[in-house]
Chain A
Amino acid sequence: MGLRSFVSMGALALALTAGSAARVSAWSLEEAAKPYAGTTVDVVFLLRPGYEAAEQMIPEFTEKTGININITKLPYENALGEQVRDFVAGGDLDIALIDLVWIGNFAENGWIVPAETFTSNPDLADPDLDMEDFFPLVLNAFGGWGDTIYGLPFDNYSGLLFYNKCMLQDAGFDGPPQTWTDVMEVYGPALTKDGKYAYALQSKRNETQSADSFARFLWPFGGSFLDDTFHSNLMSPESQAGLKFRQDLMKYMPDGIVSYDHAEAVNALAQGDVAFITEWSAFYSTLKNPDTSQITDCLGIAPEPTGPAGRKPALGGFSLAVASQADEKEQAAAWLFIQWVTSKANAETYLRKGGVPARQSVYEKPGIAEEFDFVPALVESWQEGVPEFRPRFAEWPEITEIVQEWGTKMMLGEVTTEEGAQEIGDRMEAVLDKAGYYDGSKPLLQ
């Protein structure tokens, strides 16, 4: 070939590459959403800061895509029941809001669509989706079941240690407790006096007892709900050690702690009645707001104390997945929304409006860690957690009721930790047996 033809071939090749490259990076939300303009997507939201943040972002989404998001707001306690009833009766919801403990339930009943259906569709998949950018623990725990990812993490929490710097300083401490042993032996006695208490552990008889109170003292001590064969592990020395530790720690907690829910525990810290609490990261805004907190300047944040088995902070959060009962258009529109609201590009907006995204990249941006002082503790907490902090299978609703009942009874002293653990263990195993985990009809997934 002559030089001329070579050059023209090269030019042609270049033109072709440029052309196709232009086509590849031409995926845009507006383009992808064109066929779905005018569709309405129905979803359930909770009455929490993250959801309000999303709500504020929605007008921008609707403007770009013409897709309407129809929100029904519910308290957490009703959210599961409403969605279950809706899915069972073939209702309107197009997006499923999934608490991490509901994912087994939803997935096994076939109510949600695996994310792959959409990520493998070039018309709908955003090339910038970057699943790897999500904290792996969070993506897996909130949106994954078995080996399949269904939802993207949306409303994300970790348990954090919120403490009153001033109270600690007055008692002679220059930092928060690092381990639970410190709490029991050093901080507890020093801070529990004159009508004040060192620690408040929210333990009310609802999901709070299971997630916040019971599970929190199992994992860091090496215990767990179930062993490898899915039988109860609550009688193991580690689990018992943790539960007994919790009983013992009650002497540094206010009276009637068993009736404390999140509001009471957060309030106890906010009013200066206790020195520290281990609560969900979302309460940061309540504690920083002078309208609701008296300790705004004294607020310190750290990861939860470690136990003998390491740091296993409380893990909780919600993902958004596409509901299988939606028709094709609604499913596509739903996916576009889910993808958009949890995207890397929108993470900072979401964070600034009061949400807590699960994107690693946003927390690495300069200045973010200083502006939002819960970030360092949060990022650290999300490195080490366990997805099965609470088993997420379909039997959890039944089992959590058992844990709530006997967990509170233990704390009230009506049964010993051994008796309570035995009761929970027996009943839990009965449930799992009936569900078919022991005869092999069900895979051991949690």
Chain B
Amino acid sequence: MTSRVRRRTLLAFIGPSVLALALIGIGPLIFAIWTSLHFYNLTKLKQVHFTGLENYVTVLTDPIFWDAMGRTFLLLGIALPVQIALGLGTALLLHQPGLGFLKTLTRLALVLPMATTYAVVGLLGQVMFNVKYGVVNQLLGFLGFDQINWIGDPDNAFIAVVFWDVWQWTPFVALVLLAGLTTVPGEIEEAARLETKSWWKVLRYVQLPFLVPGLVAVLILRTADTLKLFDMVFTMTRGGPGNATEFISLLIQRVGFRAFDQGLASAQAIILLVITIVLSQIYIRVFYKEVR
């Protein structure tokens, strides 16, 4: 339930946040937009000039940009369903009665992946997936499989990235969904369980509506974060071998930080922002309809 309040009260509650974000965030954003409309290269500052939408055209017609976008969405398309499936499974397991100690242990263990610095995860990936002294290959050997060249092979490097993304964020999904499960009123759940033995039916008809907001949150956050994914991939593969793991943020970093073409990088980032906003709006419209 909401109520109308005096404008002063409203400003008092919301004002500081808006002010803080506006002051801190607006300046750089405007700078980014401005540079995206200019030729702006840090090592050629004497040649800064207005170029209008030229940077945007360059970006949108550059096959490398679309390759990187495609790769990023492929990553999202593979990693996200896996995270949701595993996360949901974990949440359901944790929602069951009994095994109190084990459940607490699991909840604690779930915090570990999220708490590890992303850049370190990448380096850990290098160590663990190393073709010679990596423990993953050693374990594969125990199970009777061949040694796999992870980081040196384009496809395997991609899989390694998917693996770490899943490792790091499934716990987040699991916790969000678990929280959603706890909001299902106990009586309804019990009644449903008395009616059917199928956990799937209980999930689909009783629990799902309560999980939707959490799912939407996960969708939006993971999409935004995958589009910004940088640290982990950079330290593990640098975007290689070749282009295999060059996701969109790595491309932007290459253009902005290595070639110093800030104008182009800004254009790429703005386009990325627009895409993220559009996708988020779609998620909200499509999914929240069910709840509202």
Contact = CB atoms under 8 A, between A and B. Distances in A.
Q: Classify chain A's interface size.
A: 20 to 34
A343 interface: no
B259 A397 contact: yes
Nearest to A88: B42
25 contacts: A85-B42, A88-B42, A105-B43, A109-B43, A109-B44, A109-B45, A205-B240, A256-B153, A256-B241, A257-B152, A258-B152, A258-B240, A258-B241, A258-B242, A259-B151, A259-B152, A273-B132, A397-B260, A398-B259, A401-B259, A408-B240, A408-B242, A409-B243, A412-B241, A412-B242
B242 A206 contact: no
Contacts of A412: 154, 241-242
Q: Classify chain B's interface size.
A: 20 to 34
A109 B151 CA distance: 39
B153 A397 contact: no
A409 B238 CA distance: 14
Contacts of A401: 254, 258-259
B237 interface: yes
A418 to B, nearest CB: 17
A260 B237 CA distance: 10
Contacts of A414: 242
B131 interface: yes
Interface in A74-111: 81, 84-85, 88, 105, 109
Contact of A205 (B44, B45, B239): B239
Interface of B: 42-45, 131-132, 149, 151-154, 157, 237-243, 254, 257-261
Interface string A409-432: 100101000000000000000000
Contacts of A273: 132
A204 B131 CA distance: 15
A88 B242 contact: no
Nearest to A208: B238
A255 interface: yes
A251 B84 CA distance: 43
Nearest to A207: B258
Nearest to A255: B149
Contacts of A255: 131, 149, 152
Given A259-B241, A401-B254, A412-B241, 9 more contacts: A81-B258, A84-B42, A88-B42, A88-B45, A205-B241, A255-B131, A259-B152, A398-B259, A405-B242
B73 to A, nearest CB: 21
B151 A256 contact: yes
A389 to B, nearest CB: 20
A397 B240 contact: no
Nearest to B153: A256
Given A255-B131, A255-B152, A257-B152, A397 B241 contact: no
A394 interface: yes
Contacts of B132: 273
B266 to A, nearest CB: 16
A408 B241 contact: yes
Contacts of A81: 257-258
A161 to B, nearest CB: 23
A412 B261 CA distance: 28
Contacts of B153: 256
A397 B149 contact: no
A257 B153 CA distance: 9
Nearest to B255: A401
Contact of A394 (B44, B239, B242, B254): B44
Nearest to B156: A256
B241 A84 contact: no
Q: Which of A85, A256, A273 has the most CB of B within 10 A?
A: A256
B259 A204 contact: no
A260 B241 CA distance: 10
A397 B151 contact: no
Contacts of A260: 152
A414 to B, nearest CB: 6
A194 to B, nearest CB: 15
Nearest to B44: A394
Nearest to A261: B238
A412 B260 CA distance: 27
Interface in A106-126: 109
Contact of A398 (B45, B239, B240, B261): B261
A383 to B, nearest CB: 33
A317 B241 CA distance: 26
Contact of B238 (A84, A88, A204, A256): A204
A84 B154 contact: no
Given A256-B151, A397-B43, A401-B254, A204 B260 contact: no
Contacts of A205: 238-242
